[in-house]
Amino acid sequence: MMEPQDVPGESAQELGAIPEAGVIGRIIDRGGLVFAAGIVLSMAVLINEVVLRYLFNAPTIWAHETTIFLCGVAFIYGGLYCTARDRHIRVVLIYDALPPGARRAFDVVISLICAASSAMFAFAAWVMVQRAAFRPDGSFRLERSGSAWDPVYPGLVKVFLLAVLAVMAVQFLVLAVNYARGGTSRGANGKGDR
């Protein structure tokens, strides 16, 4: 197994959540293993489906919806994971030309804008969850797929999206506070300048 210092172009610090992400970032980073395992599990489910369908002529009714669900929640979690690791896509044309102090100010402003955006998306997800998780009389019942198997995956995905967006808003606020306190700004090479 490769040690962090053995990975070309990566330092040990870059292999996990950035320090500015705080405790919540470290928790998010560790949670990524669960969703990575979900991707592997979805592959196993699809291999099982292929074997059952083409070798034994006994297809399942659950394989496709299960793999879509597992990959969907992994994709949703991926946004939060990238936030904690500071690996999201950004246009750095102006950012890389700035001195470290200005980069830190940009980091604070960008994090606050992202927190507000995440919070607004979380509110939109809450509106969606109200329809997907509650009946008109207020009782709890998750939306179902309507297929022959009819799992509650659509409702679960919407609830999970709401939770991830709410945590993402908090993570961006933590980042903004830590950047404002003087957290490390990243340079053109992605490494800290201080």
pLDDT tens figures, 155-165: 999 999 999 99
Cβ-Cβ contacts under 8 Å for 77 (sequence gap 6 or more): 31, 32, 35, 164
pLDDT tens figures, 66-107: 999 999 999 999 999 999 999 977 778 888 899 999 999 999
Q: Above pLDDT 90, what percent of the chain?
A: 80
Cα dihedral sign for 175, 179, 182, 186? positive
pLDDT tens figures, 17-48: 999 999 999 999 999 999 999 999 999 999 99
Buried b (16+ CB within 10 A) or exposed e, 91-100: eeeebeeeee
What phi and psi values does residue 190 have, to the nearest 5 degrees?
Answer: 85, 0
Task: Using pLDDT thresholds of 50, 70 and 90, give the confidence band for residue 7.
Answer: very low
97, 76, 37: which is closest to 160 by C-alpha? 76
Q: Above pLDDT 70, what percent of the chain?
A: 87
